[in-house]
Amino acid sequence: MARLPLETIRVLDLTRVLAGPFGSQILADMGADVIKIERPVVGDDARIFGEPYLRDGEGRPTRENAFYLSVNRNKRSVALNIASTGGQALIRELVKSCDVVMENYKVGDLKRYGLDYESLKAVNPRIVYCSVTGYGQTGPLAGKPGYDAVFQGECGLMSVTGVPDGKPGAGPMKVGPSIIDLFTGLNVANAILAALYHRDANGGEGQYIDIALLDCGVSALSHYAQIYLTSGEVPVRRGTQGNGGMPTSMFPCSDGAIMITSGNDKQYVALCDAVGHPELATHPRFHTNVLRVQHRDEITEVFNAIFATNTVDYWLEKLGAAGIPSGPINDLAQVFAYPQAVHRGLRARAPHPLKPDLDVIRSPLNFSATPITDYRAPPMLGEHTAEVLGEVLNLDEEALARLREQGVI
């Protein structure tokens, strides 16, 4: 079996909920030994976020929440009370054999436990320590708590998402998934990999990484933010319309809807031919992309009327044959039945103690020499406590029993 890219890396993961766990799951998928530290009895906050829960063999709901399952595969769970002196001592011992520490506590919280960067750097100078917070370690809002939905508003994402002003239902709209958390998780994984490369390939040392959800949200606005910085003009909501090539929008059909992107003049001419209206290619207000952008609402209405005359399948066949970027508006049942998604294996199997045929989302990373082929189920609370403490710290059963009696594990 081929080795995975990060098999020699060990991560001590003190993060909870979504942004941090998503980042550590990326590292775990690539082979890192991610040791997830959870509070005894309670565990990661995500475990209590509500239905749906994984059901046992008799159909009864368990404490394994779908939210938690989505970002904790390929990890090992250790139930450990870091508020106790004994728990803090165990963390410091574990850090000696780790490459990375991740945490998403409030600014300064872990310093009172002696688990901040400076304290753990003294234990292991090579450690890469990543803190994930809402607003970063400095600034007027550094101590303020926050969640993804709040950051979607604060970072500007909601201001450019939703139905345009003057249209029925106009107003800002939150993106469905917790997208700022997910952007942050991607940045967390990238930053950690860069710090490890600096340490190991560039002859550098361990270092501290400060990642903020607000920063990641603003960064993810990309061309929208750059439009403002370049022109001083504040971008507006455009519904499903694109910001560049037109027509780009969701178009209702007789039995559903499709999404189309006409990214340049060549594609626009092909689109006009495909829908049986070649005259639109030379229309005085539509014949260049600059003009189509200027008359975006008018051209959208023209194509709305055209696509409403037939079915989704009819139009997708026509558009596909003409090479027009287009696709259906799938719900998730349709996504996992979509021929391309099936071919790519986007549904993976990770046997779980409560469900041997548990399905999980496959990692989107595809390596030729170090492929990700197997998945371990997201761990149950404390599933690997004895295993990790025995393997990493050489604690025997008697020592583990004492720690249980003391409420440390």
DSSP 278: G
**Residues in contact with 323: Cβ distance below 8 Å, sequence separation at least 6, in sequence order:** 267, 270
Going by C-alpha positions, the residue among 103, 35, 142 that lies closest to residue 390 is: 35
Distance, CA of 150 to CA of 62 (rounded, Å): 30
Q: Is 300 helix (H, G, I), strand (E, B) or coil?
A: helix
- Please, are residues 220 and 183 in contact by the beta-carbon 8 Å criterion? yes
Distance, CA of 245 to CA of 139 (rounded, Å): 39
Catalytic residue among 99, 116, 148, 181: 181
Active site residue 181: yes
Q: Which two tokens stand for residue 250?
A: 């969701």
Phi, psi of 84 (to 5 degrees): -95, 150
Q: Which two tokens stand for residue 406?
A: 């003391």
- Please, are residues 129 and 206 in contact by the beta-carbon 8 Å criterion? yes
**Residues in contact with 108: Cβ distance below 8 Å, sequence separation at least 6, in sequence order:** 116, 143
Integer Rg of the chain from CA = 25
Q: CB burial class (10 A; 0-12, 13-18, 19+) of residue 208?
A: middle
How many degrees, rounded to 5, is the angle at CA 74 between CA 70 and CA 79?
Answer: 90
Query: Strand pairing of 256-261 and 326-328?
Result: antiparallel
How many degrees, rounded to 5, is the angle at CA 178 between CA 381 and CA 248?
Answer: 145
Q: Which two tokens stand for residue 276?
A: 């049986």
List, as one string, the DSSP characters of 325-376: -EEE---HHHHHHSHHHHHHT-EEE--BTTBTT-EEEPPS---SSS-----P
Distance, CA of 196 to CA of 192 (rounded, Å): 6
User: What are the residue numbers of the active site?
Assistant: 181
